[in-house]
Amino acid sequence: MSTTGSTVVDRGLEGVVVGSTDLSNVEGQIGRLTYRGYNIDDLAPNACFEEICHLFLYGRLPTKNELHELQNELATHRMLPEPLVMAMQRVPATAWPMDVMRTIASGLALFSPVNQTGDHVSNEHTAIELIAKMTTIVAAFDRIRRGLEPVEPRNDLSHARNFLYMRTGEEPSDVEAEALDTYFVLLADHSFNASTFSARVTASTKADMYAAVTAALATLKGEAHGGAPSAVMKMILEVGQPKRSETYVREVLARGARIMGMGHREYKVRDPRARHLEKMAKQLGETSDSRWYTIARALEDASQHVLQEQKPGRKIFANVEFYTAPTLAALGIPADEFTCLFACGRIAG
């Protein structure tokens, strides 16, 4: 908080209540995150992303038949309009993926079969369409910029498994599909964050859902929000090997910079999502390239050791962005697409 003349300014809306949400609740002092009352510690290992979508859309976890119906509905909406695919094919291969995602997501409004009246039926249809198509946008541009043809989505694969299939043209392993599915579950919602705030401000003007999501995607691009995992990956690459972790941490702190992915504005203990994502990163490392997880783990340990030494009593822990980097890297996803994957999970909320 700061004072300018007689005006009190709450920087970053710190402590200011601007709305309410029933989707998720963050209890930062004890490190608990819940989705509609369900603890993330129960959902992450037991629920799939489509179940979380149902929980958010309809207020409860689905029955087996309801889950099957939602999965089928998502599958039927995965294909992109051909003009939007052609638009991506005309985009420079050097374009930032998040810019492409935001632009194509906005373009979906041009082809919507539903009148954007703002009623429950049209909103539900648009929400399902956006959830279904986000991963298709990312996978399609990933291939296009590599000089490859997009792979059409399959209706018989889960949401996470289908995304990985569309990137490579090959079905992923169960470990890979589980890791990405867990990531989507963990990122599905997080109270009143910056991109959610942007979406709700836009929606409050009675703009349609496409406009609200486009605003949210623009906000998510920022390094202080959805761009953090890419910065963590850059740091991991700079470290290069686990034994350099402590030296690197000391160098960063000595020049007054911060260790990316360490600490969280709301959590005063370890981010509960980081624990589950670290497990996924470790499992992926056991079946493929373990270096990303190994370096990340060493960096977290070194950061805690050095900070405890320099500022006794101050505790700092890895947040979800920290272990996003080694998880997505192990899945073969380039760092400049990390924010896009963040959006593919957060679109549910």
Q: What residues are annotated to the active site? A: 264, 321
Residue 35 CA to residue 49 CA, distance in Å, equals 12
Return phi, psi of residue 192, to 5°. -100, 65
Q: Is the separation of the CB atoms in 130 and 74 below 8 Å?
A: no
Residues 6+ apart with CB under 8 A from 338: 227, 229, 230, 233, 324, 325, 328
The conformation of residue 169, written as its DSSP 8-state character, comes to S
* Cα–Cα distance measured from residue 331 to residue 170, given in angstroms and rounded to the nearest whole number: 13
Rounded CA-CA distance 256/83 in Å is: 48
User: Do residues 56 and 69 touch, judged by C-beta distance below 8 A?
Assistant: no
What CA–CA distance (Å, rounded) separates 305 from 316? Answer: 10
| Pairing mode of beta strands 2-4, 7-9 | antiparallel
341, 333 Cβ separation under 8 angstroms: yes
β-bridge mates for residue 262, sequence order: 318
- Say how many CA atoms lie within 13 Å of 169 toward its Cβ: 6
